[in-house]
Structures are given as structure tokens and as C-alpha cells.
Amino acid sequence: MGSVAPISILEFPRLIRLAVLLLSILFALPLPVAGSETQRTKRILMLFSENKFLPGNALVEEAARRVLEKSGHPLEFYAEYLDASRFPSQNHYRLFREYLRAKYGPRPPDLILAFLTTQFELAGQLPAELFPETPVVFGALTEDKIRRDRLGANATGLAVRMDVKGAIASILQLQPEIQRIVVVGGTAPLDKLFLRKTEEAARSLAGRIQFDFWVTRPMSEIRSQVASLLPRTVILFANMFRDAAGDTFVPEAAASLVAAAANVPMYVLIETNVGGGAVGGKVVHFEAAGRRVGELAQKVLEGTSPTSLPIEVYSEGAPIFDWRALRRWGISESRLPPGSIVRFRQPSLWELYGWYIIGALFVFVLQAAMIAALLLQRARRRQAEAELQRNREELAHVARISTVGELTTAVAHELNQPLGAILSNADAAEMFLKMEPPALDEVRDILADIRKDDQRASEVIRRMRDLLRKHELAPQAVEINAAVEEVLQLLSINASARKVTVKFEQTAGLPRVWCDPVHLQQVLLNLVVNGLEAMAEIPEDQRRLMVGAGHDGDGMVKVYVSDRGPGIPGDKLPKLFEPFFTTKKDGMGMGLSIARTIVEAHHGQIWAENNGDRGATFYFTVPVPKDALA
């Protein structure tokens, strides 16, 4: 209508701006997903041929429901059970139908899920009549009797194929030695369905395997008879809702009863019958079927027309086996067909208590290791102690050798006396014999004296050798006074050379001490020599060495060697008995340390004190055997 001049948006009138605003808001809103219905709650009615308590029903129902719930729709579920096997009468069916009509008629459900075993009316005639608008999705146990024309126009679903032939084939594969199969079945309509299918399968294998159908025996008879079946026989449990006597069962429980009583393996046809003792087999999978039904239902809910979905035959499902039954009958898992599912695997002791076992083993090993370590340590300690003792003796020996220097003077003098006498006697004898007449009487005296001196010399040598010989600790009862005297006698030469007066203060009646005499004299020797040497620098008339032995309060004998030398400097006192400690210019420092070793090996004590006036006194104690104390 004329030319339109371009204008800016701000010039647009207010209404236009409002429209733009509204449009933007609309665009910001989440748009409904293409193909979905509006958000109204959908009502789903589930119909079951059998009763609520069958595990199979529970499985499919839950599987289907879970799939549907995942879709996110708000849903309401209703479930009704025909219980046809237990209530097979037509009257019951009619009442069920009327019940449904009354209950759901006013408000028909949006979808019917029908889980059927035999009553296909539930998927066909019934919904068509009661709820003509409602689509139906069914799951049927076998594909028998399903005909499109019997179903309503609004129905689709799947039929689970029970492949009995395949099941029997897999049984034979597992146990090729089988010659006979006993088929146990029931009298309910569903039972008969199972039996019929089994008969079909059996016909094709009739030549090879002998099939016995037990359909007229009540459960009690079946149970007693399966207990005594011949070998190379297995049982195929078809199904049992009702036995020949008319008792009703939950099939799963019936299967358990038979399997428990049987003396041969028992195989089953449906998933839910596995777990009560049956070995298993190529079974119908309820849960998977239920899921598939749920998927189909979801499609229908979303708008797909049921007629556009073909009826499916569901035959998938790997064989399922009960691990416990496999073990009972000694069937190795390696013989199972590939892809088999093994259920009820009992964890081995290891799997159950693995950690505990590891823990216990660990503790055990630890303990064993500790015990071993302790034993080893004890062995090592014994070894070390033995070595220590050997070392001690070695050291004592070395020190003894090094006191040879001290003993040389004594030895030389002591030996030279008899030797000198012998020589001079011999010279004299020679001269007496040269006389006219020879002084034979004198010679006779001489010979006697020579013999005596020879013995004397041997004795000296023997004593010296005893002192010098490497010598194991050989304790015995020793008279301490005699031992001290012997040592002093030995050192008398040394003492007089040093101008030292030695005084031995004896105590009479001292008990004999328990010690090694040689070692004891070693200690005494050491202390006396030290005492003598200590007084080298003091005026001769003051050189006195006092040696004494007396009682000590604790049942020991105490020996002391006291000199009047310069004493022991305070700082040296604690180190006195340590090895390699010496104040002598050419001393080795071993004497006192060895003396201590010896005294302590005798369970005595050795120590030194400075005297009040001058000099030092060395003390040591030696034990007295208990019985001697009296």
C-alpha cells in the first residue's frame, strides 16, 4: 500500500516490543521432545496368567517395570493375577473379567502389559472387549497358540521360545554317556504345555535316548523313585504346578524337592528352576524377556502403534548352571558350553576368608620367624659365650706367658740350687774317687744327695710348667693359706732382691675355697709382684708388703695384698682393672684385667683402695662352698 520507509526498532510501538519479549520467553522455555505425549500420568495395567508368588512372574514384572520407569514418564502401575493354574475353572475366569471391568472400566488404562503362560485371552479377547482403546504388549511363555488374528488389533509382544530340543542336546553334550532321561512333569495346564514340548523334542531323539515320562506319579512317589535311578540316567524336570495327586506347588520348590531326592543329576527348562539343586541347562531367561517386553511397552507408550511392531520370538539366553550342583555331580566347568552362566558359585574358602587366611598365615609366618630368630639368637649367644670363654682362657694364657719374665728369676734361682749342688757333688765325687784309698762312703752319700737334688729340680720344673700351661678352669677345694704361701715362696727371691719385707697374716681355720688353684695363684702372683714393684722408689727400710687371708661376711674368703708405695692416683683408680691400662713403662696392662676376669669367673670380686697412711691395698674375694661354711 505505498512505500514503507525503513524504521528502527525503537520506533516500533509498545505492542510489538511486548510480542518480541513474549516470543523470547517462549523460546527460552524447554520445548517438549518431539514425539512425546503431554506430561499426564500414564496408567499401566499388568495382567498375569499365574499367581503373584511365582518367581518367574516377579522377574519379568520387575524387569519390564524398570525399563519403563527409566523412560522418565510419570507412571502408575497396576497388577492383577488370574492364577489360572490353581483356579482353572471358566467361572473363575469370568469373575476375573468382570472384576477387571468393574475396576478399570471407568478409567481404562493407557497400556496393558500381559504376562501369559496359557491364557492368551488376556492379551486378546479380554482387552479387546474391556478396553478397546488400550494398546496391549504381552510376553508369552511359548509361541504356541499365538495367532495374530486371535490377538486384538492393538496388541503386540513377544513369545519366549522354549527350546527343549536344544536343552536336551546341551545335556547330552555335557554328559555324553547318558542313555536314559526321566521326564518329571505335572498335571496343571502349564505343566502339560511343558510336557508337550518335551515330548516333541523327545521324539526326534527317540532312537538314541530312552525317555520315561512320569506324569501319573504323585510327588512322594517321584521322590522315592528318583533316589534309586540307575547310572547313565538323568532327570529332566519339565515343570510342576500340580502333581498327579492334585497337590499344588510352586514349581521352583517342586524342583528342589525332586533334585534333593535324586541320585542322578537333574536338569530344568526355566531360569527360575535353577538354584534348588538342579544342575541347570539351556533355560528360558525371564528377566531378559521381561526387559524386552518393557522396551516394547515403552515404544508403544511413546506413540508407536502396536500393529507396526511385529511379534517377536525371544529365544536368547545362555545356559545357566548351578555351581553347587556341578560340584555335587562332578561336572567340570570346562565341559560347559561357551558363554554359559554359572550361578551360585560358592566362594571357596579362599575367596570367603582370603584376607583372614592371609592374615593368619602372616601372623603364623611372623611367629615362626620370631621363634626362629630367637632360637638363632640363643644359638649365637651360646656360641659367643663359648668363644668368650675361649678368649678369656687364651688371654689368661697370654698373660701367664708374659709373667714368665717375673717367674724367670724365681725359676732360675730355684733350679740353679739343685743343679749347682749336683755339679759340685759330682766334682767332689770324682776327687774322692781319685784318693788313695777312694773315699767310697763319701761317694755313696754324694750319690744319694744327687738323686735328691735331681728330684727337687724336677719338682721345680713341674710346678713352673703347671703355672705356665694353658689350663682350663678346674675348680676344686683349695686351702687358701697354703696357696698364698706357695706364691710367696716363689717370689721370696724377688722380694729380697727388692729389699721388701713380706709378711703373711694368716687366719687359722679358714674354710677351703672353691676355685682353680692355678688361676688363683696367678691372681696372687700378679698382685704381689705389683705390690713389690710399687715400692721400688721408696726407702728400703720402709718396704713392707702385707698379705692376708680372712673371712668375709658373705660366706667368702677375702685376700688382700697391701703395699706402702705411693698409692694409686685418684683418676687412675676406676681404670685400674681395664685391659691395656698400665703405669709401667714396659708393661702390657693385662695383669690386673686378667686377674679380674679370673676372680669374676669364680663369682668373686676384686678391687683396690688407697691406704689411709700410704700405699694401696688390693682385695679379692673367693667363694666358699656352702657346705663348708658350717
Q: Does 432 bind other proteins (CB under 8 A)?
A: yes
* Nearer to other proteins among residue 452 and residue 584 (C-beta): 452
Cβ-contact 161, 200 below 8 angstroms: no
DSSP string, 204-269: HTTTTSEEEEE-SS-HHHHHHHHTTPPTTEEEEEEE-SB-TT--B--HHHHHHHHHHH-SS-EEES
* Nearer to other proteins among residue 358 and residue 448 (C-beta): 448
Quote the distance between the C-alpha of residue 227 and its chain's center.
Answer: 43
**Interface pattern 473-492 for other proteins (x via CB under 8 A):** -------------------x
Give me the least distance between CB of 424 and other proteins, in Å please: 4
Quote the distance between the C-alpha of residue 93 and its chain's center.
Answer: 64
Give me the least distance between CB of 431 and other proteins, in Å please: 4
Q: Does 454 bind other proteins (CB under 8 A)?
A: no
Among 62, 69, 312, 442, binds other proteins (CB under 8 A): 442
Q: What dihedral do alpha carbons 207, 210, 211, 217 form, nearest 10°?
A: 150
Give me the least distance between CB of 536 and other proteins, in Å please: 13
Distances (CA, A) of 506 to 170, 184, 485, 553: 112, 116, 10, 17
Give me the least distance between CB of 481 and other proteins, in Å please: 19
Q: Quote the strand ranges of 285-330, DSSP E.
A: 312-314, 320-322
**Interface pattern 489-508 for other proteins (x via CB under 8 A):** ---xx--xx-x---------
Q: Does 385 bind other proteins (CB under 8 A)?
A: no
> How far apart, in whole angstroms, are the C-alpha atoms of residue 419 and residue 427?
12
Which stretch in 92-100, 408-416, 520-528, 586-594 sits in contact with other proteins by CB under 8 A? Answer: 408-416
Among 101, 413, 463, 512, binds other proteins (CB under 8 A): 413
Q: Does 543 bind other proteins (CB under 8 A)?
A: no
Sign of torsion over alpha carbons 15, 16, 21, 23: positive
Q: Give the contacts of 87 (CB within 8 A, at least 6 positions apart).
A: none
Element (H, E) at 619: strand 616-623
Among 117, 256, 425, 521, binds other proteins (CB under 8 A): 425
Q: Does 78 bind other proteins (CB under 8 A)?
A: no
Query: Cα Rg for the chain, rounded, in angstroms?
Result: 60
Q: How many CB atoms lie within 10 A of CB 197?
A: 21
Q: Does 422 bind other proteins (CB under 8 A)?
A: yes
What is the 8-class DSSP label of residue 506?
-
Longest CA pairwise span in the chain (Å) = 198
Q: How many residues bind other proteins (CB under 8 A)?
A: 32
**Interface pattern 130-169 for other proteins (x via CB under 8 A):** ----------------------------------------
Q: Does 109 bind other proteins (CB under 8 A)?
A: no
Interaction residues for other proteins, span 244-283 (CB under 8 A): none
Among 191, 414, 516, 533, binds other proteins (CB under 8 A): 414
> How far apart, in whole angstroms, are the C-alpha atoms of residue 447 and residue 443?
6
Give me the least distance between CB of 495 and other proteins, in Å please: 8
What is the 8-class DSSP label of residue 562?
E
Element (H, E) at 595: helix 591-601
Q: Does 405 bind other proteins (CB under 8 A)?
A: no
Q: How many CB atoms lie within 10 A of CB 112?
A: 29
Which stretch in 97-105, 145-153, 314-322, 442-450 sits in contact with other proteins by CB under 8 A? Answer: 442-450
Q: Does 428 bind other proteins (CB under 8 A)?
A: yes
* Nearer to other proteins among residue 351 and residue 441 (C-beta): 441
Among 449, 485, 486, 600, binds other proteins (CB under 8 A): 449
Which stretch in 198-206, 419-427, 559-567, 604-612 sits in contact with other proteins by CB under 8 A? Answer: 419-427
Which stretch in 214-222, 353-361, 414-422, 584-592 sits in contact with other proteins by CB under 8 A? Answer: 414-422
Q: Sheet containing 233-239: which strands, arranged edge to edge? A: 210-214, 180-185, 233-239, 266-268, 280-281, 320-322, 341-343
> How far apart, in whole angstroms, are the C-alpha atoms of residue 374 and residue 100?
84
* Nearer to other proteins among residue 336 and residue 500 (C-beta): 500
Give me the least distance between CB of 436 and other proteins, in Å please: 13
Q: Does 533 bind other proteins (CB under 8 A)?
A: no
Among 305, 389, 424, 507, binds other proteins (CB under 8 A): 424
Q: Does 412 bind other proteins (CB under 8 A)?
A: yes
Q: Does 309 bind other proteins (CB under 8 A)?
A: no
Q: Does 214 bind other proteins (CB under 8 A)?
A: no
Give me the least distance between CB of 622 and other proteins, in Å please: 28
* Nearer to other proteins among residue 407 and residue 518 (C-beta): 407
Buried b (16+ CB within 10 A) or exposed e, 511-525: bbbbbbbbbbbbbbb
Give me the least distance between CB of 393 and other proteins, in Å please: 31
* Nearer to other proteins among residue 174 and residue 532 (C-beta): 532
Q: Does 419 bind other proteins (CB under 8 A)?
A: yes
* Nearer to other proteins among residue 443 and residue 510 (C-beta): 443
Among 431, 440, 474, 629, binds other proteins (CB under 8 A): 431
C-alpha closest to that of 95 among 120, 132, 126, 137? 126
Q: Does 418 bind other proteins (CB under 8 A)?
A: yes
Q: Does 85 bind other proteins (CB under 8 A)?
A: no
Using the structure block, give the residue that is written with the C-alpha cell 676384686.
Answer: 606
Q: Sheet containing 544-552: which strands, arranged edge to edge? A: 501-505, 544-552, 556-562, 616-623, 606-610
> How far apart, in whole angstroms, are the C-alpha atoms of residue 243 and residue 220?
10
Q: Does 122 bind other proteins (CB under 8 A)?
A: no
Buried b (16+ CB within 10 A) or exposed e, 297-312: bbbbbeeeebeebebb
C-alpha closest to that of 547 among 513, 524, 568? 524
Which stretch in 375-383, 424-432, 469-477, 530-538 sits in contact with other proteins by CB under 8 A? Answer: 424-432
By the criterion CB under 8 A, which residues form the site for other proteins? Answer: 409, 412-425, 427-428, 431-432, 435, 439, 442, 446, 449, 452-453, 456, 492-493, 496-497, 499
